């Protein structure tokens, strides 16, 4: 029988990877037991510290993926280590049948630092968006008298992998082979106020049908495409005019990544509902749906989550949120993001045949390839990996940069040098 000590000391060996000195991780053993729902890079990461990770061969990488905008404090941050240790020794899980003080403390932090009044906790961004869709449907039924409520979402959006959230996602590639999809969604182009107003008028022509508009403040998977201030102000006006809920999916941009606590703060508006996950727990699985009291329509028994908001994840997430303030990480995200974009723009100028622009907010940035470029974003990501820099695509034409919010100026300079070397080799 495998002991806990053996498991912690050498998980690769314990799980049949056949690891011996100099032999390394065997992906064929992994793939024989794990479903192939991911297209994995040939890299087995085993350790991390700060903004760096190491593979099973001891090679070091500068991590500008951060679990895809998730590891807010990087890897093995002392405050997270302490929070995890203290909470797991005290109480890790109880049912939401009882009051959970850690959950209440985290909810208080979130509401005091946002326009929301109430919070529902779950485990992921997809679950947070599922909760928001349910809330919108009940709001449509009970507050607007709609028999079959419709939620408007944007093309090129991404809201999750459940049936409802892939239907909400305005990208057919995620919906292929999963029909019949969930009814009640309508898509419009992002940042197009005329198209949105026209859709509302058409759907509501014979009476109210639209219950909510679900948008990302910045489209992450859709190409790191920031929302336009004028557009979102118009969206807010249309929602107020028609008593429609404005739901903002902040799963990728919330909790300080844009240089502000929330992405909507870059747009000069307030949503009615906010969904968040990823960076909230710094890497422990937690999501949340936050709403104003005016649309807090879900009652006892109408929505739930077994693990949602348990003492362990809430204790750790609260430590992450408090560190966001105590270490001034939002200011760092803003400064390091500006430094990174300036470096990416120099790369655009140096290789106009490859790159079109660099865009983003804070520490979520995209390097956009030309439509005629002979490369894809995946080509850039693979080349950067060979130079010791981890990046992630955001579609076939955009390379995404989402490092931990603790990233330093020296880290950014090093990342740009590694990227430049990779691009030079490819070109």
Helical (H) or strand (E) element with 197: helix 193-203
349 catalytic, yes or no? no
**158 marked among binding-site residues:** yes
243 catalytic, yes or no? no
Cβ within 8 Å of residue 230, ≥6 positions away? 193
Structure tokens at 298: 């879900």
**252 marked among binding-site residues:** yes
Residue 18 CA, distance from chain mean position = 34
d(CA 404, CA 307): 26
d(CA 299, CA 297): 6
**Of the residues 138, 278, 292, 418, which is catalytic?**
278
**Of the residues 25, 120, 158, 312, which is catalytic?**
158
Dump the DSSP string for 282-336.
BTB--EEEEE-GGG----TTSS--SSTT-HHHHHHHHHHHHHHHHTTHHHHHHHH
Structure tokens at 200: 């509302």
Cβ within 8 Å of residue 253, ≥6 positions away? 69, 216, 217, 218, 220, 262, 263, 361, 364
**126 marked among binding-site residues:** yes
332-338-340 Cα angle (round to 5): 95
158 catalytic, yes or no? yes
**306 marked among binding-site residues:** yes
Helical (H) or strand (E) element with 45: strand 45-49
Asked whether the beta carbons of 135 and 295 are under 8 A apart, the reply is yes
**161 marked among binding-site residues:** yes
Contacts 24+ apart (CB under 8 A), 6-12: 11/46, 12/44, 12/46, 12/56
Residue 30: DSSP 8-state: H
Asked whether the beta carbons of 381 and 391 are under 8 A apart, the reply is yes
- Residue 335: exposed, middle, or buried by beta-carbon count in 10 A (0-12, 13-18, 19+)? middle
**Of the residues 63, 249, 379, 411, which is catalytic?**
249
**250 marked among binding-site residues:** yes
Dump the DSSP string for 100-156.
-HHHHHHHHHHHHTSS-SEEEEESSHHHHHHHHHHHHHHHHHHHH--SS-EEEEEBT
d(CA 193, CA 135): 24
Closest by CA to 372, choosing from 396, 348, 349, 354, is: 354
Q: Count CA atoms within 13 Å of residue 192 on its CB side.
A: 15
**255 marked among binding-site residues:** no
Catalytic (active-site) positions: 158, 249, 278
User: Known binding site for pyridoxal 5'-phosphate: residues?
Assistant: 125-126, 158, 249-252, 306
User: Known binding site: residues?
Assistant: 125-126, 158, 161, 249-252, 305-306
């Amino acid at each position: 029988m495998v002991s806990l000590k053996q498991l912690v000391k050498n998980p690769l060996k314990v799980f049949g990877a056949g690891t011996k000195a100099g032999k390394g991780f065997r992906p064929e053993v992994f793939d024989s037991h794990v479903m192939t729902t991911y297209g994995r890079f040939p890299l087995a990461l085993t350790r991390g510290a700060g903004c760096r990770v190491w593979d099973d061969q001891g090679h070091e990488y500068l991590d500008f993926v951060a679990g895809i905008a998730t590891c807010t404090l990087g890897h093995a941050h002392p405050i997270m280590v302490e929070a995890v240790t203290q909470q797991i020794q005290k109480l890790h899980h109880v049912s939401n049948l009882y009051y959970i003080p850690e959950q209440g403390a985290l909810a208080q932090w979130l509401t005091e630092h946002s326009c929301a009044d109430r919070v529902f906790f779950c485990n992921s961004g997809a679950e947070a968006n599922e909760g928001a869709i349910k809330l919108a449907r009940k709001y449509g039924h009970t507050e607007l008298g709609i028999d079959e409520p419709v939620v408007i979402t944007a093309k090129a959006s991404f809201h999750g992998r459940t049936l409802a959230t892939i239907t909400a996602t305005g990208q057919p590639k995620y919906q292929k082979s999963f029909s019949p999809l969930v009814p009640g969604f309508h898509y419009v182009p992002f940042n197009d106020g005329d198209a949105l107003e026209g859709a509302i008028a058409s759907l509501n022509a014979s009476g109210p049908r639209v219950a909510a508009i679900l948008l990302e403040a910045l489209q992450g998977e859709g190409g790191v495409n920031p929302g336009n201030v004028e557009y979102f102000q118009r969206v807010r006006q249309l929602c107020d005019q028609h008593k429609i809920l404005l739901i903002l999916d902040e799963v990728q941009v919330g909790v300080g990544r844009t240089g502000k606590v929330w992405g909507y703060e870059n747009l000069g508006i307030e949503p009615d509902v906010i969904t968040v996950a990823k960076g909230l727990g710094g890497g422990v699985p937690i999501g949340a749906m936050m709403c104003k009291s005016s649309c807090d329509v879900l009652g006892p028994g109408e929505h739930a989550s077994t693990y949602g908001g348990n003492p362990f994840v809430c204790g750790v997430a609260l430590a992450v949120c408090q560190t966001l303030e105590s270490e001034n990480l939002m200011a760092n995200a803003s400064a390091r993001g500006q430094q990174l974009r300036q470096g990416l723009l120099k790369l655009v100028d140096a290789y106009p045949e490859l790159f079109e622009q660099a865009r983003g907010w804070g520490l979520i940035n995209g390097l956009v390839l030309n439509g005629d470029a002979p490369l894809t974003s995946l080509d850039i990501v693979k080349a950067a990996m060979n130079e010791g820099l981890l990046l992630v695509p955001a579609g076939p034409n955009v390379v995404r940069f989402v490092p931990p919010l603790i990233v330093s100026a020296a880290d950014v300079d090093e990342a740009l040098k590694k990227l430049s070397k990779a691009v030079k080799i490819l070109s």
